[in-house]
Amino acid sequence: MLTAAAFVVAIAVLVAVHEWGHYVMARACGVKVLRFSVGFGPRLVGWTSPKTGTEYVIGWLPLGGYVKMLDEREGPVSSSERAMAFNTQPVSLRAAIASAGPIANLLLAVLLYSIVNWIGQEQPQAILAKPPPGSVLASAGLVGGERVQNVGFEGETLTGIASFDGLRWWLARGAIEHRNVEIEFAPNLNPNTRLVLLPLTTLDARHADAQLFQQIGVIGPYSRAQLGPLAPDGAAAASKLKAGDVVLRVGTIDIVDAPQLRELIRSSGRLGEPRQQTWLVDRDGQRLEVAVTPKLVHDGDQSIGRVGAVVGASPVMTRVQYGFIEGISRAISHTWEISALTLRVMGQIVTGDASLKNLSGPIAIADYAGKSAAIGWTQYVVFLALMSVSLGVLNLLPVPVLDGGHLMYYLWEALSGKPVTPSWTERLQKVGLVLLLAMMSVAVVNDVTRLLQ
């Protein structure tokens, strides 16, 4: 229920803002608006302004919207109202009206990111977990526990990093844009900083998903290998371990973080009955050696080991918050970065340098909406901002039936001095519709495939 509600609200807000951009610019240019609709299909609710004659409608199907303007190409227009028809406006005003919708979405993203920046949110500190073997971070000599302080692209000035999410954003951009990233960090329990170059240009970044972060080596933030509540009948309780114990070593293996410890426990049962292990733990500053024998359990078709305890402390958090001016500045920069990255990925999909699997459809969007809303309102606002950027950029693509396609018509008209002929407009609109339906079909197939995996 939450997922459906979050999805409908998100689509309604994004569409309403997009169409509001077209509507406001049309009114500012002196064009008469006949209908402002959020949603398609039969009218659910609505009213007509006695002053302007504009009909405001909410349709049954909340998956889009439109602004219907007075236009001689769509019906007869009286001579007294001809100056208010869309098709009689100069090409510059028609282009302004067409571009106003996507611009409104981008401005909404800036506003939403600014609000989150002003209010602030708790985020994990930029402390690295133990990277997977063979990843970029592991190959660069990072072992986990490093606190990243500054980051930047190779050859550019480094900037301060506020959180793990900010660090992961830099690394994702570097991989997708085929740029190496430099990080300055302080090793665990060491005040001296080091500078390391991460060769992200070596990665295959065609799939911008969790597998990409696996290759980079940043799956999640650092989590200390501390035990939480113990099951009364578990191996941890039988070994006299206690909640709060920090595991420092298992056998001869030094433990860096909780994911590493969890994997060691699980892998102990993959070859049969687990053997006894010697754990070195820190209990309130005192180091103890404890004999632990994980229990063999079956997880689906796998045999794994378990100790019957919650393994892993919560990540160390920091509050990320900015003042009024800096909050807006960072919001503008982030909106620009996401827009540029979105266009880059779109271009890579066209050239074959990125996979079509990067496209997401309504099922994935609804899933993300529900998950972000369940986490909290700030995460939902961030989700709305991201979707608003995506909608704005998508509509600016030079594809007929989208706003960007209409802008291409107006560019041709401005350069040639004559509009695109109706016959060519009809052909191009059909091509654009086919391209859009094909893209949507691929996105839906990707959504279903992800659900079945």
Phi/psi of residue 218, each to 5°? -120, 80
Let me know if 19 is a catalytic residue.
yes
Nearest to 115 by CA among 390, 332, 375, 381: 381
Specify whether the CB–CB gap between 282 and 252 falls below 8 A. no
Tokens 């073997």 correspond to what residue? Answer: 133
d(CA 419, CA 88): 12
Q: In this structure, what token pair is assigned to residue 327? A: 């909050």
Specify whether the CB–CB gap between 20 and 1 falls below 8 A. no
Find the DSSP H helices in 70-123. Answer: 91-119
Nearest to 259 by CA among 223, 299, 304, 309: 223
Nearest to 225 by CA among 123, 134, 124, 129: 129
Active-site choice (19, 55, 154, 273)? 19
Helix (H, G, I), strand (E, B) or coil at 50: coil
Strand order in the sheet with 147-153: 159-160, 147-153, 181-186, 194-198
Specify whether the CB–CB gap between 375 and 366 falls below 8 A. no
The secondary element (H helix, E strand) that includes residue 215 is: helix 210-216
**E strand residue ranges, 144-193:** 147-153, 159-160, 181-186
Tokens 């592991």 correspond to what residue? Answer: 138
How many other C-beta atoms are found inside a 10 Å radius of the C-beta of residue 341?
18
d(CA 2, CA 19): 26
Catalytic residue numbers, as ranges: 19
